[in-house]
Amino acid sequence: MAAVQHRCAELDVIYTMKIAIISSSFFPVIDGVTVAVYYRLKRLRDLGHRVILFCPDYSVLKNIYPDWRDYTGEIMPGIKVINLPSTASIGLDFERDVTSKSYQIVVQRLAEFEPDIIHVDEAERLATRFLKIPGVEFAKQHKIPCVAFFHTNYIDYLDDYLTLPLGLNSIIKKILGLIFANIYNSYNLTLIGSLITQQKLVTLGINNSRVGNFLGFDANNYYNNFKQSNFFLEEYHLNLIQSKIKLIFIGRLTPDKGWDFTLKALTKLPLEIVDRIAIIIAGDGDMCDRIEQTLKQLTPDVYLLGRIPPESVSALLTNGDIFITNSEKETKGLTVIEAAAAGLPAIAPRAGGVVDTIQDGVTGFLYQPQQIEDFLEKLSLLIGDRNLRESMGAKARESVQDYSWEQVVDNLIEVWMEQIDLINN
């Protein structure tokens, strides 16, 4: 077994660790999982650890991701990405999934790498493609720990993509719950980012979960960004919106992100408020055309930026005024953390992991899910009161002081170290 990196305060000695990460996705796909994995790799590189990352092959999507080669092979010193044979992802033309035959590659490369620990992101998604619970059997055979990270409430997504008669959706959800519980209970530990999500896992029967700050933001990037008077003109060639109150949306343009509610609610905004706002959306997905057509009927100041690189998100948020997410199914809400780091108040439904991130009435507003009147009332308050926006934004920034990627990855390393010690002792 390779030595494990750990700093001893008395001796100031550093040891290095070999970490295998199996992820359901990675860059160039941009979502909460891939961003978390990427910044985790950067921190592990800076600390001198060696990492092997397994993820799907995206070369067949080169028309969407012409830069896919930048994220395969040795992408950083000591960090190697191994792309596995992949197949089309159900319902998402901009993602890929691993295949069942690709798992043999994982086992072979794990044996060559001899990791100290295996970490799996979105184990349920991987297991349903591999037809094996990723990493667990290998870890047991080699007496090393294997932990999983629960990122996504996939069971809750079922209603967004599939509606069956006679209550069949409920039956499928119960079956999936049993399957997912079996998958995650196979790991030494299941990591999650919020207490709300932990309660959901307990209900599913997952009994090995631990809550912690494991998702964050790039502190250097956010704290070195400042509002610029002509940002949107210079960066995105958008004229005449600098005086507008800018509502920022970031994420997939898919049903699971609450876009049906968003469209219904925004089209009911009073005209005097509509005249004061610009709607700026970063992301892509199947609902792109519908979102644009619907909102353009409301106001000409609707701008869909498409996918933007993660390093550009901080400047976009910093130069916005209000961050909005209407997803009711987040396990933590990475974009809410990023908005707070940029000094923006957020509005979100009182549902899912964002409840642990937003302090209602202090750093933003939580509205009752699916209640358009409640949402519009709180949005209108922020639109109409600049002092309130700035006060909430400042408090939001203070609330995420412990969420830098350096800190949250160090939190993760501490958990890994603990699990390695448990195995060895």
pLDDT along the chain (425 residues), means of 10: 42 71 96 96 97 97 94 98 94 89 97 98 97 98 98 89 81 94 98 96 97 95 88 92 95 94 96 96 95 96 94 96 96 96 98 95 98 98 97 97 96 97 90
User: Model's pTM, two decimal places?
Assistant: 0.93
Q: Look at residue 12 and tell me if it is in a domain.
A: no
Q: Do 149 and 240 have their domain in common? A: no
Q: What separation in angstroms does the CA of 88 have from each of 60, 91, 98, 140, 147? A: 10, 9, 9, 31, 27
User: CB neighbours (10 Å) of residue 128?
Assistant: 16
- What's the angle, vertex CA 349, arms to CA 266 and CA 181, rounded to 5? 135
Same domain, 75 and 189: yes
Q: Are residues 348 and 381 in the same domain?
A: yes
Would you state the pLDDT for residue 160? 83
Sign, CA torsion 25/92/317/345:
negative
Cα distance between residue 264 and residue 285, in whole Å: 18
CATH number of the domain enclosing 373:
3.40.50.2000
Residues 311, 211 share a domain? no
Structurally, the chain folds into a number of domains equal to 2
Alpha carbon distance 119, 179 (integer Å): 20
Residues 234 and 178 both lie in one domain:
no
User: Under the phi-then-psi rule, with left for phi > 0, alpha for psi from -120 to 50, and beta for the rest, what region is 286?
Assistant: alpha
Supply the range of the domain harboring residue 230: 219-399
| CA separation, residue 20 to residues 1, 84, 112 (Å) | 13, 14, 11
Residue 157 lies in a domain: yes
266 located within any domain: yes
Alpha-carbon distance 31 to 38, whole Å? 11
Give residue 15's pLDDT: 67
How many C-beta neighbours within 10 Å does residue 254 have?
Answer: 21
